[in-house]
């Protein structure tokens, strides 16, 4: 945390008409150290017509150019824009002395080649890529506190990285055959532009797989996992939209490293995760490992020993569940988050708090709905 915390912050939210931008405004409105929120829109939209849940909040959209003119008044800007826009806005904000948290994919790669491979275009501000700090708060706390530019990872990446970080960091996973990750997110993950496939009559009681030829978050995961494991990692990421609005369910199955000699069990895995993230309020506040004991025998359906996605909706928490299949010698990890909070606006504000010298939980301590 910075030595001097800001008393009352003025925060810009670029891309205030989208799902993540609206969620950022909702969370900032309940933040005790935020006094002024300035969301942007590119058209003539009215705030309360776009975000009906925030009626009475007193917020109005401003034009992006107007916000840039006001840069000297801003303490931090959250860039909730589609990929390709933040890399053109960030330099102007940084030059004005504003701290920036980018929720898009523009600064998630350390080199322009990585960005080009994932997004298919050249980076407009490659000089900033080496400076951007990865915004997984639990893993980069010290760097985030001293940074002026944060690259918030994608929602899948946050959920999957928190799921596997203890095993990768401890060199407890066999990596030679790659890592298989299956994930389902809500239809808000498709954005707020109209698409027939994600309309309620189409999406209800169904699943919508996409990007099976190579999801753009897979290279991002490989970069994060290589940092943790200390060696290259190949990731196969299988994704789908589920018939719910918000939330992410990540399921991973990994082979334990044979050289570790660990007597694997669910209890041993819980111990590993407790040591990594801490326990209760003494550890990472927003990462909760399900430690409820198993009460039944083999093949008894004990739903409560694994995390429920609905338990994190509306919150900045990540709930983790672990288990071990002794017959096949496989580790199973389940991770659930709200894609709009911990997967986007919530983690951005968690990082903003550190950048402004505040407690990282400030304004975010509410639990799931």
Catalytic residues: 155
CA dist 173 and 192 (Å) reads 38
Coil/strand/helix, residue 111: coil
The length of the chain in residues reads 369
**Most distant CA pair in the chain, distance:** 65
Residue reference for tokens 């739903």 = 303
**Non-local CB neighbours of 101 within 8 Å, separated by 6+ positions:** 76, 77, 78, 79, 135, 150, 152, 348, 351, 352, 355
Using CA atoms of 166, 168, 174, 176 in order, give the dihedral in degrees to the nearest 10.
160
Cα Rg of the chain, angstroms: 20
């Amino acid at each position: 945390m910075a030595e001097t915390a800001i008393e009352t912050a003025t925060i810009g939210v670029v891309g205030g008409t989208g799902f993540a931008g609206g969620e950022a405004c909702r969370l900032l409105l309940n933040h005790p150290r935020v006094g002024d929120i300035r969301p942007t829109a590119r058209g003539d939209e009215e705030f309360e017509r776009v975000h009906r849940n925030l009626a009475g909040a007193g917020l109005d959209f401003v034009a992006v150019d107007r916000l840039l003119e006001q840069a000297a008044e801003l303490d931090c800007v959250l860039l909730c824009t589609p990929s390709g826009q933040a890399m053109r806005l960030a330099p102007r904000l940084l030059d004005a002395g504003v701290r920036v948290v980018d929720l898009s994919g523009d600064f998630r790669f350390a080199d322009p080649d990585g960005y080009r491979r994932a997004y298919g275009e050249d980076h407009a501000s490659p000089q900033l890529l080496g400076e951007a700090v990865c915004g997984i708060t639990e893993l980069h706390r010290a760097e985030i506190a001293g940074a002026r530019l944060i690259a918030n990872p994608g929602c899948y990446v946050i959920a999957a990285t928190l799921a596997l970080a203890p095993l990768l960091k401890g060199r407890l996973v066999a990596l030679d055959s790659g890592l298989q990750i299956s994930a389902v997110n809500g239809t808000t993950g498709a954005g707020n532009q109209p698409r027939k496939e994600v309309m309620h009559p189409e999406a209800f009681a169904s699943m919508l797989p996409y990007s099976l030829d190579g999801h753009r978050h897979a290279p991002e995961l490989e970069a994060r996992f290589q940092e943790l494991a200390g060696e290259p990692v190949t990731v196969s990421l299988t994704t789908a939209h589920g018939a719910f609005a918000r939330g992410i369910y990540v399921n991973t199955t990994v082979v334990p490293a044979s050289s570790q000699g660990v007597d694997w069990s669910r209890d041993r895995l819980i111990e590993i995760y407790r040591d990594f993230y801490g326990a209760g309020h003494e550890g990472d506040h927003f990462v909760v490992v399900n430690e409820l004991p198993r009460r039944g025998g083999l093949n008894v359906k004990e739903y409560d020993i694994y995390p429920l996605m609905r338990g994190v909706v509306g919150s900045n928490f990540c709930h983790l569940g672990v288990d071990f299949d002794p017959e096949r010698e496989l580790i199973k990890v389940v991770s659930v988050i709200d894609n709009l909070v911990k997967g986007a606006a919530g983690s951005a504000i968690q990082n903003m708090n550190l950048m402004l010298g505040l407690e990282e939980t400030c304004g975010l301590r509410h639990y799931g709905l």
